[in-house]
Chains A and B, each alone.
Chain A
Amino acid sequence: MSENADFQFTIEAGKAERHYWMDLWRYRELFYILAWRDIAVRYKQTAIGVLWAVIRPVLTMMILVVVFGKIAKLPSEGVPYPIFVFAAMLPWVFFSSAFADASNSLIGNANLISKVYFPRLIIPVAPVIVALIDFMISFAILLILMVWYGYWPDWHVIVLPLFLLLGFLAALGAGLFVASLNVKYRDFRFIIPFVVQLGLYISPVGFSTTIVPEQYRLIYYLNPMVAVVDGFRWAISGGNTAFNPEELIMSVCVVTILCVTGVMYFRKTEKTFADVI
């Protein structure tokens, strides 16, 4: 085994390790284990345990149905209003929890960083996976809601995973960036909740993009989650709600930039994490 070339490497000052991505593959189980830890810990010492993972989104959905469907009676482009909102809320909740948890993940695992080696990239990815699992559960509830309203999506729904991927990458890219900044400047810990809160209001979760004036649309589309949220709604409503290709192109560009710079910045600062944290 010692002759195995896989395990021969050189640590050199200032040089990016060529073995990084290989190590990432070798430690792939750690993605799963860390995500599992976060979920397992969350429901420890609760009476009903993992059931909370289901109850939480169900309660959210019920509030939505009662408040918006029965009381408010807002217009929703022909889709039952609870579905209209819930379909948009899912990707947003996924993004916000993935982004916030990823951003704080390095600080939360400081003891690991200063005592063991593994590719640090695993740490901020794990909470994104956790958020993805939560998303799956909520999505199942959306399906139940659709059955309840007798509302069936058409072929548009097959593009849903692509929008999910876009949301995943947006959360990861932004999360990596802020996580590495957070190691050195803990100020970000206080900024993140505001960003998430603001994000909810500048993403078309409670309203439709159509109410944004034409001249501001381009700036509005800089928020990559606009296309993800709109896209979700579009796919589920069978193309009945507003969605235009401009926002998709814009979003893909922004997400690509976020991811590339996020990974680059993370890789660059990663080596000093153990010294700074």
Chain B
Amino acid sequence: MSVAIKVEAISKKYIIRHEKESARYETLSESLIQGSKNIAAKIKHPFKTRTGDLQTQEEFWALRDINFEINQGGKVGIIGRNGAGKSTLLKVLSRITEPTTGKIHINGRVASLLEVGTGFHPELTGRENVYLNGAILGMSRKEIKTKFDEIVAFAEVEKFLDTPVKRYSSGMYVRLAFAVAAHLEPEILIVDEVLAVGDAQFQKKCLGKMEEVGNEGRTVIFVSHNMGAVTNLCNTAFLIEGGQVVEKGEVASIVATYCKIQEYQGGELPGGYSVNRDILEKNNKPAIKIENIKVANPENTGQGCATGDPMHIDIFYRSSRKWISPAFFVSIKEMSGLEVLRLSTLPISGYAIENLFESGVIRLVIDCLPLVSGKYYLDVGFARESMEFILKLEHIVTFSVEPKDVYKSGLLLDRSRGLITVDHAWSHAEC
């Protein structure tokens, strides 16, 4: 198999200027004096950037010694935290900015999609923008003309083709912009986190389109924070950290590594939830400690739960003594504080933990999540047999529920149609 992209020792340096504390002007007269001094200095040396007294410069290596090869038809996910250098790498690969050192060999036509709707002009109509955007992305007019109907159908904006895009809803705007980009036919497609926009349904459609592109044997480089999307779309992945590729390999193992890092850092986890580490650290009862809580969708690891999906809540504990018939509580609250659901082992559910030793995990299984889409948080508690709370961790986990058309009615359920869903049936009889 031939090589599509070969990257040799790429580094990218940026210079950041800081203004020194002492250089900030305090009063108007001071700033005028300082300002005129600066002007005088500028006139003497117009193009010399002053270093030294007022500003300090700092070198910042956004990318450091990056090496890799991507074969033709390879689908590579690039993952890493914010500021790790992913976007810079994409910019270098798509020739928007030049690397400071190193070499890149590219074999094939490259199209990069770093932003949805680059070059869209608000005053122009949808039709005009398709041509404009297409040309900017490197399509010829002939190419656009033959794909025009397809693009418009994909974006679902037929009715508004001759309306200026400034009057579009943001959803229509994004759909049209993505539709143009989705119909590019390059050998190498570079995509940055552009799927973060649009509703869940359109995101699915976009992902589907991207999969199609991948299946046609093109090379795809894909950056996303959506681990589910990366896992679905890519077969290999690079993990970038501090401007360096720290790990490459099978997508599943790289995603797993990334999740571990994320968990450690306490940021939003790929399952669409986050754990408040501060509270977790502070629950320092010597007798019992909750060490971690995980929320997962067992059918689709890495993705969040939607209404009606199964959900597992795992509570990892460590105790220094033996407890007899203790109880765990999990309370699901809406962001306003309204308690939607409280579940516990004894006394609510009747499930009894007979004895609790050293360490282990308690799993709460919800087969069919009855919550409509939105953000929720969890309070988790631990009580002794007498129902006296030993631990009460409020607001410990925040998670979001994705919208889903549970009743197959064409409607995505949200709070405008009630807080919960339930399995139900209607019948009708005439008397």
State which residues 13-39 of A face B: CB under 8 Å. Answer: 13-14, 27, 29-30, 33, 37
**CB atoms of B136 and A10 under 8 A apart:** no
The tally of residues in B whose CB lies under 8 Å from a CB in A reads 42
Name the segment of B29-37, B88-96, B226-234, B271-279 touching the other chain.
B88-96
Question: Which of A7, A111, A116, A271 is in CB contact (< 8 Å) with B107?
Answer: A7
**CB atoms of A112 and B99 under 8 A apart:** no
Contact with A along B113-133 (1 / 0, CB 8 A): 011001101011000100110
**CB atoms of A274 and B96 under 8 A apart:** yes
A8, A9, A44, A116, most chain B CB atoms within 10 A: A116
In the complex, A112→B100 CA distance in Å? 22
List residues of chain B with CB within 8 A of the CB of A272.
97-98
Number of cross-chain contacts by CB at 8 Å: 102
Task: Given A2-B72, A111-B119, decide whether A33 and B104 contact each other with a Cβ distance below 8 A.
Answer: no
Residue of A nearest to B140 (CB): A29
**CB atoms of A115 and B135 under 8 A apart:** no
Query: At the interface, yes or no: B374 with Cβ under 8 Å from chain A?
Result: no
Residue of A nearest to B218 (CB): A2
B: which residues have CB within 8 A of A? 2, 4, 14, 72, 91-92, 94-110, 112, 114-115, 118-119, 121, 123-124, 128, 131-132, 135-138, 140-141, 164, 187
B64 to chain A, nearest CB (A): 14
**CB atoms of A37 and B124 under 8 A apart:** yes
B37 to chain A, nearest CB (A): 17
**CB atoms of A12 and B119 under 8 A apart:** no
B5 to chain A, nearest CB (A): 10
List residues of chain A with CB within 8 A of the CB of B121.
37, 41
**CB atoms of B141 and A29 under 8 A apart:** yes
**CB atoms of A33 and B106 under 8 A apart:** no
In the complex, A167→B128 CA distance in Å? 31
**CB atoms of B136 and A112 under 8 A apart:** yes
A47 to chain B, nearest CB (A): 15
29 contacts between A and B (CB under 8 A): A1-B108, A1-B109, A2-B107, A7-B187, A8-B107, A11-B92, A11-B103, A11-B104, A13-B98, A13-B102, A13-B103, A29-B140, A30-B135, A30-B136, A33-B136, A37-B132, A41-B121, A44-B164, A45-B164, A111-B118, A111-B119, A113-B96, A114-B96, A116-B94, A116-B96, A117-B94, A117-B110, A118-B138, A274-B96
The tally of residues in A whose CB lies under 8 Å from a CB in B reads 31
**CB atoms of B114 and A116 under 8 A apart:** yes
**CB atoms of A112 and B132 under 8 A apart:** no
B124 to chain A, nearest CB (A): 6
In the complex, A222→B115 CA distance in Å? 46
Query: At the interface, yes or no: A40 with Cβ under 8 Å from chain B?
Result: yes
Residue of A nearest to B129 (CB): A37
Question: Which of A33, A45, A115 is in CB contact (< 8 Å) with B114?
Answer: A115
In the complex, A1→B72 CA distance in Å? 12
Query: At the interface, yes or no: A275 with Cβ under 8 Å from chain B?
Result: yes
**CB atoms of A13 and B91 under 8 A apart:** no
Task: Given A30-B135, A115-B96, A275-B97, decide whether A1 and B187 contact each other with a Cβ distance below 8 A.
Answer: yes
Residue of B nearest to A8 (CB): B107
State which residues 224-260 of A face B: CB under 8 Å. Answer: none
In the complex, A274→B98 CA distance in Å? 9
6 smallest beta-carbon distances between A and B, as pairs: A33-B135, A271-B98, A117-B95, A11-B104, A44-B123, A274-B97
In the complex, A116→B114 CA distance in Å? 8
In the complex, A114→B115 CA distance in Å? 10
List residues of chain A with CB within 8 A of the CB of B132.
33, 37
In the complex, A68→B187 CA distance in Å? 62
List residues of chain B with CB within 8 A of the CB of A30.
135-136
**CB atoms of B112 and A116 under 8 A apart:** yes
Residue of B nearest to A270 (CB): B98
Residue of A nearest to B73 (CB): A2
Residue of B nearest to A114 (CB): B96
List residues of chain B with CB within 8 A of the CB of A115.
96, 114-115, 118
List residues of chain A with CB within 8 A of the CB of B91.
274
List residues of chain A with CB within 8 A of the CB of B105.
8-10
**CB atoms of A116 and B136 under 8 A apart:** yes
**CB atoms of A41 and B124 under 8 A apart:** yes
**CB atoms of A11 and B164 under 8 A apart:** no
List residues of chain A with CB within 8 A of the CB of B119.
111-112, 116
In the complex, A117→B190 CA distance in Å? 12
B60 to chain A, nearest CB (A): 11
